[in-house]
């Protein structure tokens, strides 16, 4: 961790002359200001996994430094991405409609934010083609109030009116999952008010507490209203490579699109967000432009390949034009580690989280706030069930614990309660690191309570 004052060194020395020097200041200026996401003592937010295989993939990608916006600008980049995302789809046991053989397919986005944005645009334009583009202000998107802020941002970007972004309330009774009844009622009200429901975004493993929305029931409602059904499994999707956790995405058969971040918890360096879609033409419809200088007319043997739809141009599946050779690192991870090792990796983290959950349960001053599903434990300090000062107390505990520099955790707010998040997922984390973190938490809790 670092103080803001550390950075005066940057601001002070940032003169035009400085960069003509030849010495690097990684040790003295950069590392002191880095939040160490790869540290085994990092338990904040969600993980951002680096690995030997992922690093090798990044090196190859940086060395080749191609820009794979269309097939011809590096056929291997497009083809490998198609192959590797088919592999991952099969590992996750996704429906065949998400495979490249049919009308669908997978594509690597930078982040889950871009994934939800491009599907929102596809869903938006699909309905606007039917009802006319001036109906934009009538379009309504649905999700739970636990949904990642990326959906709200996507609405802002795509021109969906903020008041038409329904973040339906959830509560502890359903572990913060979206209620089909609540959704159905909201849709009925909107339809009665001449609004147009066009998209439902469900989450498997919310950012706050790993809530899992009931996909089968939600999917049926979405289909019955002709809405686009998107599933955001950015974090928890990785766990679904294990048969015993796969059931969390049951209902994905109903989905139009599914997203998970291999860069979070699957040892693939950031960024690598895997998005699958059943109807790729909907994406292409929204995102393609075809200027002369990019047309595929370079090879006699595949003359105008793109125009003839013989090949895939991923530029039309994403926001930017240019794109890195990101499939290399995912390929490396799958080839070097293999499915069994990756499953073992996930299971170990979940085992460690379960261990932490037990430690918390054994200390009467603490409570586990929501049942742990994956590798995140939501907990808080609650001495004598004293709600009055609980939020401030946990807020202070977070600050004191993180200030030690020995461990880094984050927080959220659930039903108005300030809650601490302990997310296991760094590649180097072992039981001893979890125990050490718990020791710090207990010690600082005692200090705090003693000073009250």
**449 touching a copy of itself, by CB under 8 A:** no
Figure out which of the listed residues 122, 176, 179, 305 binds a copy of itself, where binding follows CB under 8 A.
305
What stretches of 288-373 show up as alpha helix (H) in DSSP?
A: 327-361
Figure out which of the listed residues 27, 193, 289, 362 binds a copy of itself, where binding follows CB under 8 A.
289
The CA-atom distances, in angstroms, between 75 and each of 62, 293, 336, 388 are 17, 18, 23, 61
**189 touching a copy of itself, by CB under 8 A:** no
Residues 209-248 as x/- pattern, contact with a copy of itself by CB under 8 A:
----------------------------------------
Positions 159 through 188 that interact with a copy of itself (CB under 8 A)? 159, 161
Minimum CB separation of residue 364 from a copy of itself in Å reads: 26
**Residue 299 to residue 264: CA distance in whole angstroms:** 39
In three-state form (DSSP H/G/I as H, E/B as E, the rest C), the secondary structure along 109-162 is: ECCHHHHHHHHHHHHHHHHHHHHCHHHHHHEEEEEECCCCHHHHHHHHHHCCCH
Buried b (16+ CB within 10 A) or exposed e, 206-233: bbbbbbbbbbebbbebbeebebbbbbbb
Minimum CB separation of residue 380 from a copy of itself in Å reads: 14
Of 190-198, 210-218, 407-415, 434-442, the segment contacting a copy of itself by CB under 8 A is 407-415
**194 touching a copy of itself, by CB under 8 A:** no
Minimum CB separation of residue 170 from a copy of itself in Å reads: 14
In the three-class reduction of DSSP (H, G, I as helix; E, B as strand; rest coil), residue 169 is classed as coil
In sequence order, the β-bridge partners of residue 199 are 141, 228
Minimum CB separation of residue 355 from a copy of itself in Å reads: 23
Query: Is the CB of residue 180 less than 8 Å from the CB of residue 214?
Result: yes
**298 touching a copy of itself, by CB under 8 A:** yes
Figure out which of the listed residues 339, 404, 415, 439 binds a copy of itself, where binding follows CB under 8 A.
339
**Residue 113 to residue 116: CA distance in whole angstroms:** 5
* Residue 408: both structure tokens together: 């880094």
Positions 7 through 46 that interact with a copy of itself (CB under 8 A)? 7, 10-11, 14, 16, 18-24, 26, 29-38, 44-45
Positions 39 through 78 that interact with a copy of itself (CB under 8 A)? 44-45, 48-50, 54-55, 58-60, 62-67, 72-77
Minimum CB separation of residue 417 from a copy of itself in Å reads: 11
Minimum CB separation of residue 362 from a copy of itself in Å reads: 26
**Residue 393 to residue 212: CA distance in whole angstroms:** 29
Query: Is the CB of residue 81 less than 8 Å from the CB of residue 314?
Result: yes
Residues 379-398 as x/- pattern, contact with a copy of itself by CB under 8 A:
----------------x--x
Figure out which of the listed residues 79, 175, 253, 367 binds a copy of itself, where binding follows CB under 8 A.
79
Figure out which of the listed residues 291, 362, 432, 452 binds a copy of itself, where binding follows CB under 8 A.
291
**411 touching a copy of itself, by CB under 8 A:** yes
Query: Is the CB of residue 257 less than 8 Å from the CB of residue 278?
Result: yes
Residues 90-129 as x/- pattern, contact with a copy of itself by CB under 8 A:
xx------------------xxxxx--x---x---x----
Q: Which is nearer to a copy of itself, 217 or 326 (CB)?
A: 326
Q: Residue 52: in which H helix or E strand, if any?
A: helix 52-64
The CA-atom distances, in angstroms, between 426 and each of 42, 376, 423 are 7, 12, 9
């Amino acid at each position: 961790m670092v103080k803001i004052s550390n950075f005066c060194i940057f601001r002070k020395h940032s003169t035009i002359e400085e960069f003509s020097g030849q010495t690097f200041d990684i040790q003295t200026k950069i590392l002191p200001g880095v939040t160490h996401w790869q540290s085994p003592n990092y338990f904040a937010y969600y993980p951002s996994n680096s690995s030997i295989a992922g690093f090798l993939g990044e090196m190859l990608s940086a060395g080749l430094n191609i820009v794979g916006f269309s097939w011809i600008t590096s056929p291997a980049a497009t083809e490998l991405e198609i192959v590797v995302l088919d592999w991952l789809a099969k590992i996750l046991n996704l429906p065949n409609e998400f495979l490249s053989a049919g009308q669908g397919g997978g594509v690597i986005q930078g982040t889950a934010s871009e994934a939800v944005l491009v599907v929102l645009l596809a869903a938006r334009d699909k309905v606007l083609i039917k009802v006319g583009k001036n109906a934009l202000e009538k379009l309504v998107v649905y999700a739970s109030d636990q949904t990642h802020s990326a959906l709200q941002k996507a609405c802002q970007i795509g021109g969906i009116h903020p008041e038409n972004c329904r973040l339906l309330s959830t509560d502890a009774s359903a572990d913060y999952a979206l209620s089909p009844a609540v959704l159905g009622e909201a849709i009925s009200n909107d339809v009665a008010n001449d609004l147009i429901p066009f998209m439902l975004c469900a989450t498997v493993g919310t950012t706050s507490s790993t809530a899992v929305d009931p996909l089968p029931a939600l999917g049926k409602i979405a289909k019955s209203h002709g809405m686009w059904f998107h599933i955001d499994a950015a974090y928890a999707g990785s766990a679904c490579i294990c048969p015993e956790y796969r059931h969390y995405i049951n209902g994905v058969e109903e989905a139009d699109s599914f997203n998970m971040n291999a860069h979070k918890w699957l040892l693939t360096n950031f960024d690598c967000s895997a998005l699958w879609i059943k109807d790729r033409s909907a994406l292409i419809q929204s995102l393609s432009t075809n200027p002369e200088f990019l047309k595929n007319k370079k090879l006699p043997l595949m003359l105008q390949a793109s125009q003839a739809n013989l090949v895939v141009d991923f530029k039309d599946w994403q926001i930017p034009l240019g794109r890195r050779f990101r499939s290399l690192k995912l390929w490396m991870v799958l080839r070097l580690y293999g499915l069994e090792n990756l499953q073992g990796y996930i299971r170990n983290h979940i085992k460690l989280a379960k261990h932490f959950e037990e430690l918390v349960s054994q200390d009467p001053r603490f409570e586990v706030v929501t049942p742990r599903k994956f590798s995140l434990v939501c907990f808080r300090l609650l001495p004598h069930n004293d709600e009055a000062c609980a939020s401030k107390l946990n807020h202070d505990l977070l600050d004191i614990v993180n200030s030690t520099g020995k461990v880094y955790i984050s927080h959220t707010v659930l039903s108005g309660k300030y809650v601490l998040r302990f997310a296991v997922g760094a590649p180097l984390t072992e039981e001893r690191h979890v125990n050490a973190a718990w020791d710090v938490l207990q010690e600082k809790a005692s200090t705090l309570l003693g000073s009250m």
